[in-house]
Amino acid sequence: MGKKTMISMAVVRRLPKYYRYLGELLRNDVERISSKELSERIGFTASQIRQDLNNFGDFGQQGYGYNVRALYEEIGKILGLNKHYNTVIVGAGNIGQAVANYTNFERLGFHLLAIFDRNPKLIGISIRDKVIQDVDNLEEFLKSNHVDIGIICVPKEQAQKIADIFVRCGIKAIWNFAPTDLNVPDDVIVENVHLSESLLTLSYRLNEAELFKEKIGR
Amino acid sequence: MGKKTMISMAVVRRLPKYYRYLGELLRNDVERISSKELSERIGFTASQIRQDLNNFGDFGQQGYGYNVRALYEEIGKILGLNKHYNTVIVGAGNIGQAVANYTNFERLGFHLLAIFDRNPKLIGISIRDKVIQDVDNLEEFLKSNHVDIGIICVPKEQAQKIADIFVRCGIKAIWNFAPTDLNVPDDVIVENVHLSESLLTLSYRLNEAELFKEKIGR
DNA sequence: TAGATTGTTAATCGATTAACAATC
DNA sequence: TAGATTGTTAATCGATTAACAATC
């Protein structure tokens, strides 16, 4: 009996962490693991682990636990890692170059097809065998190449314009590093990486105790 | 009357977004805004906005709404942006360099003191006027300089070792870009940026509909 | 079989939304 | 004052945890 209900984002965001921990267990030749043991390592409750996994199927076995390799592979499939994705990066500045050079993504099945920038000083330079192309060629490129994921690494002022091109060319998933929110149709998925929001969260937490000490004093 | 209760992370993670939107309004010379108007722009409900802000104080005025500048500044203070932070980056690879070059952080009050790496080819090179130093000098440096935030951009195998040095030298906040979880004492805050988890979340969502189509077929 | 551990239901907890009295 | 909009309480919704029967 299949469940058609969409999975909550809270669950989805834990999946990559399961995958990472199971990969480590696998590399350490651990064959089986109970939700209780995994709980102690990963820091979620055993109950939550069982609930999470049961969203996708019955991967465990009573009295035994979970087979590490089988579960690792199942979660890999759930995450879509049995597939291959073509990506392009737009913006070859610091972050664009960092993402381009992160070879681990290639290993996971994310294949970088091309990099674009509008800066003449960068156009023509190679990053990992990819010549940086003029962003004016982006739309044409997307029309003649199938791209699954568009990666935006341009300044925030240009981000929406690039997103519009992506949408127009049928890209359904955008990985956005620009510090802004993108407007896209409902069928296009945007995953944001907002570094400065992460840093501000850190500075908030660093000051939190103090913040409320002052309040109490009032 | 001050509230001493800690704020939930759900609320905290929305604060930087409020700050960003208020900054934009300010730049567009918007003087006042109601929770309803802000709701339409930022995408949170008006009710949630009022609840969130009331965790920190009474910033609004009945019948008027919120003064944009005042609220912007208040949230800035809440986020700790009225203070100045010294940071160091360990790991001068792609991500380390990208973070070092992100000058916007400087503008927010995060001052980069030094960059470290263990690669002799990188040691001695300058990034934004900072000479990359040998990581063997890290501990000594931290003992003679006050550092608020340690930024980890080394491969995952070395990340815990660096975190241990940070903790030993009294650093209370770590911004971790290594794809691993760090073990630190309770009084040390870790903020993770796990790029590959973000990418896997994206690929999950790209495949979600399909995943459950298959399930139903069974 | 007995012990272990899952899958799953029920209970709890926390976060979001709705409603409205207070008040500018 | 009348209208608008907050601050805040109450209701709802969703996510996590606890409990335990099912079963390997």
| Averaged pLDDT score across all residues of chain B | 94
Query: Across residues B3-31, what is the average pLDDT?
Result: 92
pLDDT digits (tens, 9 = 90+) for B117-172: 999 999 999 999 999 999 999 999 999 999 999 999 999 999 999 999 999 999 99
- With beta carbons under 8 A apart, name residues in chain A contacting B194: 16
- What local confidence, expressed as pLDDT, does residue A6 receive? 85
B121 touches chain A (CB under 8 A): no
Tokens read off for B34? 């109601």
The answer for A 32-61 residues in CB contact with B (under 8 A) is 43
What does the alpha-carbon distance between residue A107 and residue A114 come to, in Å, rounded to a whole number?
17
Q: What is the pLDDT of residue A22?
A: 98
Query: What stretches in chain A show pLDDT beneath 70?
Result: 1-5, 214-218
User: Domain limits of chain B?
Assistant: 9-78, 85-197
SS3 content of chain A, % helix, strand, coil (to 5): 45, 20, 35
Distance from CA(B195) to C1'(C7), angstroms, rounded = 33
Q: How would you classify the pairing of strands A85-90 and A110-117?
A: parallel
What's the pLDDT at A100? 97
pLDDT at position B92 over 80: yes
Residue for token pair 């004492």: B185
A25 CB closer than 7 A to any strand C atom:
no
Whole-number pLDDT of residue A214: 58
Structure confidence at residue A5 (pLDDT): 63
CATH architecture entry for A85-197: 3-Layer(aba) Sandwich (3.40)
Residue B3 per-residue DSSP state: -
* A28: chain B residues, CB-CB within 8 Å: none
Measured CA distances, B47 to B6, B25, B33, B52, B54 (Å): 20, 20, 14, 9, 11
H helix intervals, chain B: 9-12, 15-27, 35-42, 46-54, 68-78, 94-101, 104-107, 138-144, 156-168, 195-217
Between β-strands B110-117 and B130-134, what pairing exists: parallel, antiparallel or unpaired? parallel
Q: State whether the beta carbon of A82 lies below 7 angstroms from any atom of strand C.
A: no
Q: What percent of chain B has pLDDT over 90?
A: 92
List the single residue in A with minimal CA-CA distance to B11. Answer: A201
Give the model confidence (pLDDT) of A38-61 as tens digits.
999 999 999 999 999 999 999 999
What is the CATH class of B9-78? mainly alpha
Q: What is the mean pLDDT of residues B79-104?
A: 96
Identify the three-state secondary structure at position A90.
strand
CA B58 → C1' D7, Å? 8
pLDDT at B215: 53
Count A/B contacts: CB-CB distance under 8 Å. 184
Chain A CB within 8 Å of residue B166 CB: no
The reported pLDDT for the residue numbered B103 is: 87
- Residue B36 CA distance to nucleotide C17 C1' (Å): 14
Rounded Cα gap, residues A201 and B12, in angstroms:
7
Closest nucleotide relative to residue B47's CA, C1' based? C17
Report which of A161, A11, A29 is spatially closest to residue A79, judged by C-alpha positions: A11
Is the CB atom of residue B43 positioned under 7 angstroms from any atom of strand C?
no
Beta bridge partners of B76: none
Å separating the CA of residue B39 from the C1' of nucleotide C17 = 13
